Structure 1
Amino acid sequence: MKTIELSEPFDPQIIPAGKVVLATGFFDGVHCGHQQVIKTAARQAKKMSCKLAVMTLDRHPMIVFQHVPTKQIHYLTTLKHKLKLFQQLGADYVYVIKLAGTLPQMPPQEFVDKYMVGLHAAAVVAGEDYTYGKHTIANMQTLPEFARNRFQVITVKHVLFGQKKISSTMIRRLLDTGQIDLANQLLGYHYQNTGIIVHGKQLGRQLGFPTLNLKINSQERILGEGIYATKVRLSGKEYLGMASIGRNETFGANQQLTVEINLLNFSKMVYGQQVVVNWYHYLRGQVKFANAQALIEQLKKDQRQTLNYFQK
């Protein structure tokens, strides 16, 4: 897969020759709805003997169009993870468009001419709510007018869960409330975070449950407070773990939010290393225990529950 970054104005010479079927959207999370768009484009590409291209943006549209500060945006998938998922879905090219400069104000016809026709699209595939400018004039219903018979327009209907469309917003709400099992179902894979192992207060080690204290990538969304069953990739190996997202209220009020993971059958010192955490299952909510011994007894139960979950 080849990744091509485009910023306005771009040199047409950097666009690979040959027709493509272009799947387009922001695709935060690359959830089941997004996957349906890309899989539809992949089938069309095979039918038309074209390459499969995916077009996305380098930042969340809310940063530009709603002036939300960058530090307030927490992605379901960073660009690096998104590219990996695109590759797994069979993309030959990914165009990452820089949403800056004159691009946000670009008229719909110019955008279609440059970023669809200019990318050699034989067909453009997108979800039914995709827009490429003001939603009232630059939507999938008006795209055939701007296309002017130069490419096919394929609109993919929403993938529903119950009566509601699967959306990034829905998945964010699920993550915020700890509903990781359902969030994973709608994502089509296990939600993950990347982090660096940092020094903590070593409270877990004192209790007999040493933990990895993680500093999560600031761009990534962290799940709601609770105890979770996880798998952690560290130094090329994968380990089972039980994770705590919370404030350690048993040891005092107004503590900072921490992400700590007790790996089963692992006790090495690995400060400074990067880990990838795959979140599997919600075990329970956070509890303020009467004393350390009560917490230890609960941690033993959590460990058994984690093992039981993965054995099933």
Structure 2
Amino acid sequence: MKVIELAEPYAKSEIYPEQIVLALGFFDGVHRGHQAVIKAAKQQAQKMGVKLAVMTFDRHPSAIFQQRDPQKIQYLTTIAEKLALFETFGADIAYVVKFDEKLAYLKPQEFIDKYVVGLNAIGITAGSDYTYGPHTVANMKNLPKYAKNRFEIQTVELLKEDEKVGSTGIREALANGKVELADHYLGYVYQTTGKVVHGFERGRQIGFPTLNIETSPAKQLPAVGVYAVEVGLDGKRYHGMASIGYNETFGDDLAKTLEVNLFDFSAMVYGKKVTVYWKNYLRPMVKFNSIAELIAQLEADKQHSEALLNVQNEN
């Protein structure tokens, strides 16, 4: 997949020179609703005999329109994860457009002229809630007025179950520790990638050594709690249990950490990149009265995790 980064104003020489079908959206999480858009766009591209391009932005539009601090916005997928998912679902080209004031305040007609027609799109596919400016005018119902018969328009209705399958609902599920629900809406297992760093080695001292994982502040973690997980490391998958919390048993006012105890694993892997796959919520974090109580609970957590993960691997 070819990745092209654009910023307003872009040069014509930067874009893919041939005709394309363009899938439009922000695509945070690339969840099942987004996948339906990309799949429909792929079918449209094959029908028209051209490549499929997917366009996204480098940051959430709220950073401009709601004046949110870009450093405090959290995402379901990093740019790298999003691009990998685009490729998995059939994109030939990915446009990553810088979302700044120059782009944000383009008029709807300007946006369509430059970022649809200007990218050589002869067909576009988007969800029914897609907007390209003020939602009252720059919506899918009004798109034919701006398109002026220059490209084919395909609208994909929102995916609904009990409620809309969307990024907001997935963020809420993760914020409440409901990783199984988040995984269901995503259509794949939510994951967090980070680097193994040195910690206080308290787990090692009580027989449960952990990998302390440093993650990007821009990537949303599930809620504080204990989870059954799988961990990708050096091309292999390992079973384990993860805790997100403040290590209350060892003191007050400690920093929040992500720690993973891998089962039947003892290698030193400091500095390596690992990916945590969030499979099941086990329990909330608890401040134990003694180390012995903590160890007993960790033994129970390990048995619970192994049972859950083994059953999932059998299915």
TM-score scaled by length of structure 2: 0.96
> How far apart are the structure 2 equivalents of 1:22 and 1:302?
47
Partner of 2:286: helix, strand, or coil? coil
Q: What CA RMSD, in Å, does the superposition of the two structures yield over aligned residues?
A: 1.0
CA distance in 2, matches of 1:105, 1:10: 15
How many residue pairs match? The answer is 311
* Separation in 1, partners of 2:36, 2:184: 14
SS in 1 for 2:287: coil
Cα deviation for residue 137 of structure 1 reads 1.2
What is the letter of the counterpart of residue 67 of structure 1?
Q
Equivalent residues of 2:64, 2:101 under 8 A apart: no
Cα distance in structure 2, aligned partners of 1:17 and 1:254? 56
Measure, in 2, the Cα distance between the counterparts of 1:236 and 1:128: 39
* 2:119 counterpart SS class: coil
Aligned-pair identity (%): 51
1:99-153, CA deviations, whole angstroms, 9 ceiling, x for partnerless residues?
A: 1252111111111011101111111111111111111111111111000000111
Q: Deviations over 1:163-185 (max 9, x none)?
A: x2111111001001100001000
2:150 is equivalent to residue 153 of structure 1 = no
User: Partners of 1:89 and 1:24 in 2: how far apart?
Assistant: 14
Q: 1:17 matched to which residue of 2?
A: 17
Deviations 1:274-302 (A, max 9, x none): 11111111111112212111111111111
Residue type of the alignment partner of 2:89: L
Which residue in 2 is equivalent to 1:191?
190
User: Within 5 A, what are the aligned runs for 1:278-289?
Assistant: 278-289=277-288
Match of residue 80 from structure 1: 80
Specify the alignment match of 2:199 in structure 1.
200
Q: 2: CA distance between counterparts of 1:67 and 1:175?
A: 24
Q: Does 1:94 align with 2:69?
A: no
- Residue equivalent to 2:232: 233
Runs of 4 or more consecutive aligned structure 1 residues displaced over 4 Å after TM superposition = none
Consecutive unaligned residues in structure 1, runs of 5 or more: none
The range that moved more, 277-286 or 83-92, is 277-286
The CA deviation at 1:7 is 0.9
Classify the secondary structure of the residue corresponding to 1:161: coil
Residues 8, 101 of structure 1: 8 Å contact kept: no
CA distance in 1 between counterparts of 2:268 and 2:309 reads 25
* Residue 230 of structure 1: how far off its partner (Å): 0.9
Structure 2 gaps of 5+ residues are: none
